[in-house]
Amino acid sequence: MDHNIWISFPKAISLVGYLIIAYFIHITLLKPTLNLLHKIYHYHGLHCLPKNFLFGHLKLLSPNFPFPSNMEDISRNMYTWFEQTISTNKDRSLSVMWLGLFPVIIISDHAAVEAVMTKTNVKKPFFYKYIGLKNGLITSDPSLWKIRRKAIEPFFVTKRQKHFVKLMEQEIREIPEKLLNQIDKPIDMEHLIHTSTLRIIERVVGSIPLDDLKEEKEITLDLLTSIEQIAMKRAMNPLLWFDILINFFETGKSYLKNLERIETLMHSYMEHRKKVITLSPPKQPEEYDLVHLLEKHTDQTGTLEELVTSIAAGHETVSVSLRWTLFSLGNHPEIQERLYHEIIEHFPGDTPTDDFDKINACTYLDKFLKESLRLNPPVHFIGRVLDEDIKVNGTKIFKDTNIFICITSTHRDPSIYPDPDKFDPERWNPENSSKIPKSAFIPFGYGPRNCIGYRYAMMELKVYLIHILRKFSMKSTRTSESIPLKSEISLKPALPLEIILTTRHNINQEMKDL
């Protein structure tokens, strides 16, 4: 009897082992494969542009796939693909992008946006990890995001916004003088704006003085731009989705090297910050920077992740939006003049623009900015992963499906915005704006995972416009419609946004008196 038990015991162990292996195969391979096949079958009937059976839309987006394609081609094709897909969809609600055999659902209808951007759907698609921000607020998984978001939110309260405006004023008041040698000729202010917004955000979040570490700031700009472009290449090439394969490609090697260089720069910023704080410690609670707040709630790794996230997002969002805003002003002289008169009413001459309440009193400026952000949002699309099944216009969308929300199309829905391509700040009069659903205007996202610094971005845009517009009038060299667009992480022009600045009366004498 005992002998038989001992013989059967190894067999039982083997059986348990086989069952464990079978369960592992089912969970890691069979179940995901069956779920994918089910999604492929289910989403096959949704609207989409013609596709390749095996590659889906990858060849349309990245013409040389599976080999590397030019980034300019990928970003232009991405924008064009989105616009063609949604414009050929009668109800604008649901379309599908096929990245090989992997479906990504595209939505733009505000009701669909409302259904997706709920309190529970806060997970980001896998390709957000390619942006290079590691576990920062933009890219982190929901559990960590909730902790970090709660820790960072106090940094952007109204009392601190008033302090931020004073820091912005220190940098932006110098911009008109820098532009004096650029008048009466076409200029693209891209580098000036990007450099300036970077200087401000590094001062706000890390106490780096505006004129310190100039070389490091230039390198930071170049690295962030490179990482953004490579992130798009990775997203459009399934061969680059896997970290284990990325070292076999030059694109991957460059990407990893740039991430290391960014991390080194962040360490140098932190070391410099310590010296600055030691020599000149904050005197008021609102003067403490974001790093000070983070050090109370996370470790050094977390602090560095949120520092680079704040720097990357905080300068890119404002700089792209400001370039489009100035270009729009140059194409609408009557709007420009009305805005100018409102600005000089509240900020005549060289009145400092560090008065938070006076800035908020510029109501037409607020309407103008909203309309500019409607037509040219800083980001082309945002992504979510569903944490439960939902229905959109009667169509079931499964849990764990990747969703793209196309912001440019949401903002041009003719059922919400009559004559949607017209630049019309009057849309934002109280009687009109009250009819616009919140999910139909999402330049900074929507729902719990919206941009945490959107109030900061709006205030900074206003300070720039006040300083520039009260000193210069401007005329754009092209119409907005003639500028092709490209979709990287941000929505960018594929041609220079050139404007011609003309000094307003008495500016030369005013500048001499500074």
Residues 276 and 267: beta-carbon distance below 8 Å: no
Question: For residues 43 and 402, what is the distance between their CA atoms, to the nearest angstrom?
Answer: 12
- pLDDT at position 364 is 98
**Token pair of 158, please?**
């109204």
Residues 436 and 136: beta-carbon distance below 8 Å: no
Buried-state track 415-449, b at ≥16 Cβ within 10 A, e below 16: ebbeebeebbbebbeeeeeeebeebbbbbbbbbeb
What is the DSSP code (8-state) at residue 52? B
- pLDDT at position 511 is 45
* Length of the chain, in residues: 514
Question: For residues 417 and 437, what is the distance between their CA atoms, to the nearest angstrom?
Answer: 11
**Which CATH number does the domain 27-121+380-442 belong to among 3.40.630.10, 3.20.20.10, 3.30.43.20, 3.60.15.10?**
3.30.43.20
Positive or negative: CA dihedral 370, 372, 378, 381:
positive
Region 142-375+447-513: CATH code:
1.10.630.10
CA separation, residue 295 to residues 136, 392, 475 (Å):
14, 43, 47
Q: Where are the alpha helices (DSSP H) in 133-189?
A: 142-152, 158-172, 175-179
**Token pair of 352, please?**
């400092």
Residue type, 169: E
CB atoms closer than 10 angstroms to residue 244: 6
- pLDDT at position 250 is 84
**Token pair of 236, please?**
């459009």
- pLDDT at position 12 is 66
- pLDDT at position 119 is 75
CB atoms closer than 10 angstroms to residue 8: 11
Domain assignments of the chain as residue spans, ordered by start: 27-121+380-442, 142-375+447-513
By DSSP bridging, strand 381-385 and strand 472-476 are unpaired
Q: Is 451 marked as binding a ligand?
A: yes
- pLDDT at position 489 is 86
- pLDDT at position 16 is 65
Question: For residues 139 and 422, what is the distance between their CA atoms, to the nearest angstrom?
Answer: 34
Which runs of E-coded beta strand occur in 387-509?
390-392, 395-397, 402-406, 472-476, 485-487, 491-493, 499-503
- pLDDT at position 11 is 65
Residue type, 410: T
The H-or-E segment that residue 262 falls in is helix 250-279
β-bridge partners, 406? 381
Collapsing DSSP states into helix, strand and coil, what is residue 94? coil
**Token pair of 141, please?**
């998984």
Question: For residues 58 and 78, what is the distance between their CA atoms, to the nearest angstrom?
Answer: 10
Taking alpha carbons only, the member of 439, 436, 443, 383 closest to residue 407 is 443
Residue 300 C-alpha from the chain's centroid:
25
Question: For residues 80 and 83, what is the distance between their CA atoms, to the nearest angstrom?
Answer: 5
Residues 40 and 103: beta-carbon distance below 8 Å: yes
Q: pLDDT tens track of the chain, all 514 residues?
A: 455 555 565 666 666 665 666 655 655 666 677 777 888 888 988 999 999 988 999 999 988 888 777 888 999 999 999 999 999 988 777 999 999 889 999 999 999 999 999 878 899 998 899 998 999 999 999 999 999 999 999 999 888 999 999 999 999 999 999 999 999 999 999 999 999 999 999 999 999 999 999 999 999 999 999 998 888 888 888 888 888 888 888 888 889 999 999 999 999 999 999 999 999 999 988 899 999 999 999 999 999 999 999 999 999 999 999 999 999 999 999 999 999 999 999 999 899 999 999 999 999 999 999 999 999 999 999 999 999 999 988 899 999 999 999 999 999 999 999 999 999 999 999 999 999 999 999 999 999 999 999 999 999 999 999 999 999 999 999 999 999 999 988 999 999 999 999 999 754 444 444 4
C-alpha Rg value of the chain to the nearest Å: 26
